[in-house]
Amino acid sequence: MSGLFGTLNIGKSGIFANQRAIDVTGHNIANTKTPGYSRQRAEMQTRRPFCTPSMNNAAEPGQLGTGVEISQIARIRDSFLDYQIRVEMGTQGRYQGRDKFLREIEGVFNEPSETGLSTLFGKFFDAWHQFSKQPETSNTRTMVAEQSKALASELNHTYSQLNKIKGNAQDIIKQKVFDVNNIINQVNQLNQEIIQISVAGNNPNDLMDRRDYLLDQLSSNFGITIDKKDFNAIELNTKEDKEAGSPKGANLVQVIDPDNVARFAYIQDIQAQKDDKGNPTGKYDIVYYKNGDTTTESNRVVIKDVELTDEQKKEMDECRVLWTDKSGNLLKKDGGAVNADKDGISGIKFSDIALFKPSSGEFKGYMSVQQDVDGYIDRTNNLAKGLALAVNTLHGQTTDSSKDDLPFFVNKDGQENGIDASNIVVNKEIMDNPMKIKGSKLDVPPSGESDGKRALAIAGLRDVLMGIQNINSNMSREDFINKFCGGLKENEYGIKVLNGTTDGMKVDNYFKDMVDTLGIQEQEARRMVKNQSDLLNTFTQSRASVSGVSLDEEMTNLVQFQHAYVANSKIISTVDELLDVIVNGLKR
């Protein structure tokens, strides 16, 4: 088409195109502060031209333009920057989780301070040393009893607080499981909507922004792998993370059969089974909740009679997350789903269970810090048990080598066996009557005792090298003394004392090493959080320079499109005047 009507259509196309460009600019300005929004751009192209030349008509060579049109509303996004940011968010999430709880562990140990364990250990040994100087007075005995009680109470409190920290980490994991499943469900729903709109030939820019924003959130929790498909679709999985324990062929989001996907469940409890005599059988009932939703008992599933070693039980306790299908049925490592009946699930081995153990993200941080907490609990138990066994060895000695009398430290049941930081107490007999504390070489101190040699030997335990680090929960006093303390020897006063071992540690040094290790771990976590924050800021700024909305740029574009709109309106106005001349002027 040529002539004035063709020019009229060109002006009309210019008006419509610039109006659309103004709409896009307004949309950008309105979403300046919208999280995850990517700048959009109306891309213009010439419309199909009108071909005039032919064999019979060469008077108007070439093609006549027919105006402009919007080819697409483009979304300005750099996928490589998205990838970099998500990788670094996973690393940052891991160390943020660790930093949060390592700080809490530091608060529990509270070192150095006047009320921490190191100070109480010092006061404990000082009380025994003072007792050795004044064994005839009751005040020094009372001081020994009270300082020992304070030390035992602080060990109890430390154990309790460490377990609370571990419980808090597990509570966060439980909430994270629920939140992550919801995010994945939203991504899946958005994925289906994006496919439908893209198949129709449109660009679902805002939906894709929302999906990318959710993927950013997801990447801070664990490492994700995104496979791009046709029609702007994606598939989401963890296949690049070999530690995540992903069941064979499991996708979190997929295009084909979008309901046949994996999700996560939270292990609420690991219940040990016992025989008729109350002894552990080595089998456990594992209770998990579908999708991490603990608000209703209908989501509760029990995996029965699972045989676990101590290490496997510990691994499951620290992880707490299982792979399931979308309905919450347990996924085995080979990819098969196990449906639960009304009594739960039976016949499952630990090797069949797919635990979710990502190598990055907040999940990794909360899981790894539980390993640290378990380590500090074990070390605190070793400290309590080692101290108790060493003190009891010296305090309970009698002139009859076949007898052992009045252990100083016991557990809350009054027994020496099974002492750890959770239950160590001073023997009730001693607390009721501090005069029963033995400070002399003799078995039972007579009234007005003047011999403080035994008390001096107990005070000397401060400097004895003991293999505290090698203690286990079932170790007897005899094994500890003979294997890890170098056995017994008589000192110059005729009291059997620990010989010491070159590969052992002093009590003070053992605790100091614990605190130093904790400090190094916290410094590393804090340093990594700062480094990752700086790195993420760099990547985020780079992405903002590409995808972010600049108000100055948008205002410039707005003025540009406004002038173009006005100019095209002037073309239409001019054509209108020319048509008026032709139509109405010819009559005159």
For the chain, counts of helices (H) and of strands (E): 12, 16
Q: What is the spatial distance between Cα 112 and Cα 117, in angstroms, rounded to a whole number?
A: 9
Q: What is the spatial distance between Cα 247 and Cα 423, in angstroms, rounded to a whole number?
A: 42
Instruction: For the chain, give the number of residues.
Output: 588
Residue 494 confidence (pLDDT): 80
Q: Which residues pair with 397 in a beta bridge?
A: 404
Q: What is the pTM of this model?
A: 0.88
Q: Residue 353 is encoded by which pair of tokens?
A: 């269970």
For residue range 393-403, list pLDDT tens digits in order. Answer: 998 877 655 56
Alpha carbon 92 to its chain's center? 10
- Give, as one character, the DSSP assignment of residue 327: T
Residues 6+ apart with CB under 8 A from 482: none
If DSSP states are collapsed to H, E and C, what string results for 549-563? Answer: CCHHHHHHHHHHHHH
Q: Find the DSSP H helices in 200-243.
A: 205-219
Residue 55 confidence (pLDDT): 54
Q: Which among 283, 236, 369, 264 is positioned nearest to 323, based on CA atoms?
A: 264
Give every residue of the chain whose pLDDT is below 50, as ranges. 445-448
For residues 147, 152, 153, 159, the Cα torsion angle rounded to the nearest 10 degrees is 150
Q: What is the spatial distance between Cα 310 and Cα 131, in angstroms, rounded to a whole number?
A: 43
Q: What is the spatial distance between Cα 41 and Cα 86, in angstroms, rounded to a whole number?
A: 25
Kindly calculate the radius of gyration of the chain based on its CA atoms and give it in whole angstroms: 38
294: Cα within 13 Å, side-chain hemisphere: 13
* Amino acid symbol at 361: G
Residues 6+ apart with CB under 8 A from 29: 549, 551, 554, 558
